Amino acid sequence: MRAITLSVVVAASSAALLASASASAFDQAAVQREVESLNESLPAMVSPVLREEPVKFTGKALLYTFTHVGRSADDIARQNVGANARSYLLGQLCNDADTRDLMHDGLVFSFVYVDPATTRTDGAVITEQDCTKGATR
């Protein structure tokens, strides 16, 4: 569980970095530049068992991918990674004014966890609607 918590901390801080690049409005070019800058240091191990892969930006969504090194898809699924990550990320992203502004302007944050064979095992998607449901306030 420690690796999962660390991964969402890294992802949330990366999201905050991207949000600060586009301050008050969703500026696709600014977000793309920040993604390119962030990706210069990726992939990188963020814990002994978790590697953050390069971030992808589709113009409407940021996709963060984390590979669980040395674990099978079954092992990861049993840990309920997506639900645990989602709960933490809601608090981090929805309570940050910059990321809330980006989501208000249509940006979606997606977090995917994969095994070493890049089989998707779990994930979490955070949108503005998630923040307005009052789950974190």
pLDDT digits (tens, 9 = 90+) for 95-136: 988 888 888 888 898 888 887 776 667 788 899 999 887 544
Closest residue by Cα to residue 50 from 18, 84, 11: 11
Domains (range + CATH), the chain: 2-132 (3.30.300.250)
Is the CB of residue 131 less than 8 Å from the CB of residue 89?
A: no
Q: Which amino acid is at 2?
A: R
pLDDT digits (tens, 9 = 90+) for 63-83: 988 888 877 777 767 677 777
**Of all residues in the chain, what percent carry a pLDDT higher than 90?**
12
- Global model pTM greater than 0.85: no
What average pLDDT does the segment 6-33 reach? 59
Residue 5 pLDDT class (50, 70, 90 cuts): very low
What's the pLDDT at 14? 55
d(CA 65, CA 38) in angstroms, rounded, equals: 13
The values of phi and psi at residue 71, to 5°, are -125, 145
What average pLDDT does the segment 78-92 reach? 79
Decide: residue 40, CB within 10 A, 0-12 exposed, 13-18 middle, 19+ buried: exposed
